[in-house]
Structure 1
Amino acid sequence: MGRIKKKGTAGAAKNFITRTRAVKKLQISLPDFRRLCIFKGIYPREPRNKKKVSKSSTASTTFYYTKDIQYLLHEPLLNKFRDHKALAKKIGRALGRGEAGDAARLEKNLTPKMTLDHIIKERYPTFVDALRDLDDALSMLFLFANLPSTSAVPPKTIALCQRLCLEFEHYLIISHSLKKSFLSIKGIYYQATIQGQDILWLVPYKFVQNITGDIDFRIMGTFVEFYTTLLGFINFRLYTSVGLVYPPKFNAGSDERGGELAAFILEGKGLDSAQTVVNDAVNANGHVPKAITSAAAQAEADKLAELPAPEEETEDSTALVAANGEEESTETIDTFEVTGQDADVLPQPQATGVETSTLFSPFTIYLSRETPRQPLEFLLKAFGCKRVGWDSILGDGAFTTNELDPAITHQIVDRPPLPRESLPAVPDAAPATAGEGADAKPAVGWPRSTVPGRTYVQPQWVWDCVNQGKLQRPDLYSPGATLPPHLSPWVKPKKGQYDPTAPLAEQELEGEAEEFEEEEEQIENGQEAEESEHEKAAPLKLNGKRKSLDVLLDREGSIEPGEGMDVAGSVSESEDEDEGEALTPDEEFDGFSEESESEVSETEEVRLQHQRELEAEARGVPVESLNGNVQPKSKTAEARKKFAKKRREEAEEKERLKMMLPQKKRKLLNRIEYGANKRDKESELLRKKRRKIESVKGGK
């Protein structure tokens, strides 16, 4: 007989450990245990059977893997936590004795310094692994960079987050790694591609943040401490890969004046400007250079700079092409068109990195005071614009602060054009100096006047150009115009779904436009209102009783010649019997009123119409021919009936084919059809709304 195993020593009970036992085993406090788990990337686990793990206990307990806790026993940070705990005891003892100077000296000289460098190397063996985990880090750091300083969020942490985020933005500008951006309710989403890895993060808007008391900033501060170390390593690697000196020089005076990106001065090792290295590499090789070491960046850039640009063509080659009659190559991208209704939709080719990186390079753009300067400056510079100006009140670092500068080609405004009477008065100009002249006038720009030759657009134009990879029509984004829909660049409409960007004629089903036109005609002619009134059939009053109009019509239509008052047991008598009421001689006839006369005339018209229908049926001719007003059938009505018949036949054919399937597959097909029908109804509703909007615009 084998040895009997003790309960809880093998299996799932051995693989998991409770949080209380883990804290006791590591001999640290619960807050330090939480910090250590966040640093090391260890999270609670959910066992399949809690009763087996917790030894039949049903209490709510947090479990960890036993191997993870064993791994933490050899962590060097444990000694730092214990030293900090011992120092806290010494400081508390000194304060208890009233020795404040000794307590300050102990805190200044004996506070243990913790570094997370070894943890970064353990969790991310390669640089690509660190890039894959950069999404949450950037979102958290950009959030803390926009928070106000409080007791829970110290100013040093905010300044560190701002510096790291701006350094990362500078690399994206230099390398042209930014690809897409989207304005949402939560904030601004950005996507960059670095060494083949797509990184998506969220940046909040520059609003005043209201910090509530239900946020645990201790946990978030632990994540920020880890993420700042991670982003510092990544920035160092990215800067050195393109031959930049890290960290870049920081101008504190410019930062105090709101310079932000302009407060950093980038320098290359052995070069006057690191931007020259990247630009030469882009122009010569056709794409952004890959990550290389700083020492090799100089040699690689020199080799690429000596190569001739492939885009340059000599006069002889141009003349040869013209002589042969060959067409010159265009810069447009080929697109794959759908050949059939049920054909697969192929992904369209996107613009290359060189085309998008120089999207705004020929322009000089001026930002008005009401526009968000920080995201616009970052986007414009990341896509090639070297000359971005704004008013001096927005901060330091502008290319020009003069709104009337003739070099400005585009001005981004976010205010509609207003009549001159509603604008405030122009302040008096400052007294002119001797050099300026006495005839100097105050510089007044938008919205009082526009500069000839300058394009005025709204901020959404920049985002739509970036997402589409090409310049959009500026007239669609003129001040005060209704902007096109701003859609997420990461959500692509699937087959059968509503696509706001595609024309309505390409998406609507067969016969859908005719049905909409028929509904509009019915609404205009008031047919729907008449039908609803006929269905309701307001009761009429006859001989002191209320009767339905349908009953009267049925009765009049059923009377044959020779009958009439000889019919016994009328409808009114049966109703009187059911209600248990008897009519007195005085109530039988109370004279004719105007209402009763109109009712009699209506019933007479109905009777005559019924008589005409019987005569037309006997002769075999339409009723309209008897009246003399034959109306031709509407083409839309005929098309609608044709398409309805076709759909009905297709549905019947589908039902017949469905009956041939086994029951299991038939149920699966029903579930698929349910989801497809739900999607089609939603798409049809959206198309109907869009068609109504377009019809209203067309009418105006």
Structure 2
Amino acid sequence: MGRIKKKGTSGAAKNYITRTRAVKKLQISLPDFRRLCIFKGIYPREPRNKKKVSKGSTAATTFYYTKDIQYLLHEPLLNKFREHKAVAKKIGRALGRGEVGDAKRLEKTHIPKVKLDHIIKERYPTFIDALRDLDDALSMLFLFANLPSSEYVPAKTIALCQRLCLEFEHYVIASHALRKSFLSIKGIYYQATIQGQDILWLVPYRFVQRTGGDIDFRIMGTFVEFYTTLLGFVNFRLYASVGLVYPPKFDAKSDEQGGELGAFQIEGRRITQGDESSAEDIEPQAITSAEAQAEVEKIVALAASTEQEQQETLADAVRTEDSNNDSIDTFEPTAADADVLPQPEASSAEAAALFAPFTFYLSRETPRAPLEFILKAFGSKRVGWDGSLGDGAFTTDESNPAITHQIVDRPVVANGSLPEPYVPETDNGGATVTKAQWPRSTMPGRTYVQPQWVWDCVNQGKLLRPDLYAPGAELPPHLSPWVKAKKGEYDPTIPLEQQELEGEAEAFEDEEDEADDDEEMNEAEQLITNGKKNGLEAIIDREDSVEVGEGMDVGGSESDSDEADEDEVTSARDFEGFESDAESDVSDGELARRQHQRELEAEAAGESVEPVVKSQKVKNAEIRKKADKKRKDEAEEKERQKMMLSRRKRKLMKRIEYGEDKRDKEAEGLRKKRRKLEKAKTAADAA
């Protein structure tokens, strides 16, 4: 006879362990257990059958894999946590005895320092694994970089997050790895392609952050501690891959003045071969005064040229880059109804040439940090801004002739409504020079655009028309670059005529006409009701109130009856060309045959046959009738095909059709809404 197994010693009950038992097994506190699990990447698990795991209990319990907890028993951080607990007890006893000096000495010299280097190597055996897990790390660190310091978030942690994030942005700028960006309600999304991996992160807007009391900053701080170590490793490897020195030189004075990206100086590594050594700056940030003067003269000459010459210069630069680098192939569909293959992303050379020929100036109302990052990531090395926005600008003079594009975010107002500002005058060889300031004055030859122009140009990979983004203009819709409309879905970037179904536009016009008729009927009924309320029902036809010859109809008159008969014949001839209810059900060929027969009869009688002119409403009805008939035939054919399928496949087909019908209804509703908006806009422009 086999041995009887004891309940709860095998199967699912053995594979899972509760959190309470795990904490007792590791002999650490619950906060330390949570911190250790975050570092090691161990998370709670949900068993399929909780009753089997908890031996019949249905209470809410957190479970972990037993193997994961067994793996934690050999973690070196456990000893660090126990040492920290022992030192904390000593510090507490010293403070209880009033020995503040001993407590400070213990905290300074005996508190163990926790290093996560070995955990980073364990969790990410290859560098590609670290890049794949970088999305959440960047989003969390950029969030903490914009938080205000408090008792939960120390200023030291915020400064570390800011430094790591700016170092990562410098690599993206140097390698031109940024591909897309999107302005959303949550913040600004960025996507960069690094070593074939698409990394997407979110940067919050720089508003005043108010942290609520329901946020557990201890858990978030544990993640930040892990992510800072991870990003430090990643930044070091990325800088080394492009030949840059890490960490870059940091200017604390410039950072205090708001330099941000300008507070870091990127340098190339020294390449040593035998006895020869040379230093190469991959992306030099500082240039000599002579080179700066030559660069400014070149830019002034470029600004003085016409817009056509600028476009030709940009096209020549792009062609030169393409000739030096292998161009990326594009996939074109072989047929109109074929599948659309995803197109490859733009190369770094194309990204570097997008804003390279231009010099930008940011007005003080525009967001400087995201604009500076995007413009420099796409080739522009000359970005200036107002001196109140911080240090590190190419120029702070708004009237500098080297500026080709100025980004403003204020509406256009009349000059008379603005007070005269105080503008200091500078002496230039005995002559007074006044600075040009938007919106009171503009510089000739300079392009003024709104900030959305930068994002739309980046997402579409080309320079868009600046007049569509002029100050005060109604901006085009800012769409997400990651949402691509599928077949049958509504696409706001395509005109309505290209995505409407057959007969849909005519049906919309008929609905609008019916709505107008109903509105007129309602107005008429309202007028009648109001008239009755005003006492118009008292005015009736009476023999003593109607004069002779006014409003009186004399019945039985032969002349009147003859005229009525003639009117009926005339009206019948006038409406002879319209289809009756019986004719609406016959085919188009039969209608043509009947019309031809009427023409022959009229020709034999010697009468002139006038062509039948159909109204727009009748034409719309015919188009809708043909479209409905076509769709009905297609539906019948599909039903016949479904009869040949098995029951299982018919159910699957039914679910597919349900999803398609739901998608088509949503798309149709959006198209109707867009058509109404376009019609209202056209009417407003005509008025």
Normalised TM-score (structure 1): 0.78
Cα distance, 1:694 vs. partner?
2.5
Structure-2 change in CA distance of 1:657 and 1:369 (3 Å): closer
Report the equivalent of 1:651.
632
Cα distance, 1:44 vs. partner?
0.4
**Residue deviations 1:314-364 (CA, integer Å, cap 9, x gap):** xxxxxxxxxxxxxxxxx9997846854x44334456543311221000000
**2:679 aligned with 1:684:** no
Alignment of 1:124-139 (within 5 A): 124-139=124-139
Report the equivalent of 2:79.
79
C-alpha separation in 1, matches of 2:402 and 2:16: 69
Contact 1:80 1:112 in 2 (8 A): yes
Alignment of 1:32-71 (within 5 A): 32-71=32-71
Contact 1:187 1:204 in 2 (8 A): yes
Gaps of 5+ in 1: 278-308, 314-330, 543-591, 605-610
Cα distance, 1:499 vs. partner?
1.0
Alignment of 1:616-655 (within 5 A): 621=572, 624=575, 632-635=613-616, 637-655=618-636
Contact 2:485 2:491 in 1 (8 A): yes
Alignment match of 1:529 (pick from 519, 522, 526): 519
**Residue deviations 1:472-502 (CA, integer Å, cap 9, x gap):** 1111100001111100000000011111111
Report the equivalent of 2:655.
671
Contact 2:364 2:385 in 1 (8 A): yes
Cα distance, 1:635 vs. partner?
3.8
Cα distance, 1:641 vs. partner?
2.3
Amino acid aligned to 1:262:
G
C-alpha separation in 2, matches of 1:48 and 1:352: 47
**Residue deviations 1:119-166 (CA, integer Å, cap 9, x gap):** 000000000000000000000000000000000000000000000000
Gaps of 5+ in 2: 271-278, 286-316, 322-326, 543-549, 554-561, 578-609
Cα distance, 1:649 vs. partner?
4.4
Cα distance, 1:426 vs. partner?
1.4
Structure-2 change in CA distance of 1:87 and 1:642 (3 Å): same
Partner of 2:505, secondary structure, is helix
Partner of 1:191, secondary structure, is strand
Amino acid aligned to 2:475:
L
C-alpha separation in 2, matches of 1:310 and 1:257: 37
Amino acid aligned to 1:594:
I
Report the equivalent of 1:497.
489
Alignment match of 1:594 (pick from 525, 530, 539): 539
Alignment match of 2:453 (pick from 446, 450, 461): 461
Contact 1:173 1:378 in 2 (8 A): yes
**Residue deviations 1:605-663 (CA, integer Å, cap 9, x gap):** xxxxxx9999999999457479xx99942145324323333323432552364155255
Contact 1:182 1:189 in 2 (8 A): yes
Report the equivalent of 1:273.
281
Partner of 1:274, secondary structure, is coil
Cα distance, 1:312 vs. partner?
6.4
Contact 1:338 1:345 in 2 (8 A): no
Cα distance, 1:444 vs. partner?
3.2
C-alpha separation in 1, matches of 2:339 and 2:119: 48
C-alpha separation in 2, matches of 1:122 and 1:625: 88
Cα distance, 1:421 vs. partner?
1.8
Alignment of 1:211-610 (within 5 A): 211-270=211-270, 271-275=279-283, 336=332, 339-340=335-336, 342-348=337-343, 351-429=346-424, 436=428, 439-521=431-513, 526-530=516-520, 593-594=538-539
Report the equivalent of 1:118.
118
**Residue deviations 1:168-202 (CA, integer Å, cap 9, x gap):** 00000000111100000000000011111110000
C-alpha separation in 2, matches of 1:30 and 1:615: 102
**2:681 aligned with 1:697:** yes
Report the equivalent of 1:30.
30
C-alpha separation in 1, matches of 2:96 and 2:38: 34
Partner of 2:283, secondary structure, is helix
**2:209 aligned with 1:209:** yes
Structure-2 change in CA distance of 1:683 and 1:535 (3 Å): farther
C-alpha separation in 1, matches of 2:58 and 2:344: 57
C-alpha separation in 2, matches of 1:351 and 1:696: 39
Structure-2 change in CA distance of 1:171 and 1:536 (3 Å): same
Amino acid aligned to 2:459:
N
Contact 2:187 2:204 in 1 (8 A): yes
Contact 2:359 2:380 in 1 (8 A): yes
Structure-2 change in CA distance of 1:656 and 1:436 (3 Å): closer
Amino acid aligned to 2:390:
G
C-alpha separation in 2, matches of 1:474 and 1:139: 32
Structure-2 change in CA distance of 1:657 and 1:437 (3 Å): closer
Cα distance, 1:528 vs. partner?
2.7
Partner of 1:64, secondary structure, is strand
Partner of 2:48, secondary structure, is coil
Identity over the aligned pairs, expressed in percent? 68
Amino acid aligned to 2:519:
A
C-alpha separation in 2, matches of 1:21 and 1:362: 65
Contact 1:191 1:199 in 2 (8 A): yes
Partner of 1:199, secondary structure, is strand
C-alpha separation in 2, matches of 1:595 and 1:664: 73
C-alpha separation in 2, matches of 1:396 and 1:657: 68
Contact 1:518 1:637 in 2 (8 A): no
Which 10-residue stretch deviates more, 652-661 or 92-101? 652-661
Cα distance, 1:468 vs. partner?
0.4
Report the equivalent of 1:94.
94
Could you say what the CA RMSD is over the residues aligned between the two structures, in angstroms?
A: 3.6
Cα distance, 1:101 vs. partner?
1.1
Amino acid aligned to 1:446:
W
Report the equivalent of 2:557.
none
Q: How many residues get paired?
A: 589
Cα distance, 1:310 vs. partner?
12
Contact 1:613 1:623 in 2 (8 A): no
Structure-2 change in CA distance of 1:348 and 1:269 (3 Å): closer
Partner of 2:189, secondary structure, is strand
Partner of 2:448, secondary structure, is strand
Contact 1:356 1:470 in 2 (8 A): no
C-alpha separation in 2, matches of 1:89 and 1:415: 60
C-alpha separation in 1, matches of 2:119 and 2:128: 16
C-alpha separation in 2, matches of 1:74 and 1:349: 46
Amino acid aligned to 2:615:
S
Structure-2 change in CA distance of 1:697 and 1:73 (3 Å): same
Contact 2:179 2:346 in 1 (8 A): no
Amino acid aligned to 1:408:
I
Contact 1:46 1:63 in 2 (8 A): yes
C-alpha separation in 2, matches of 1:46 and 1:65: 10
Report the equivalent of 2:177.
177
C-alpha separation in 2, matches of 1:535 and 1:511: 33
C-alpha separation in 2, matches of 1:388 and 1:613: 85
Normalised TM-score (structure 2): 0.79
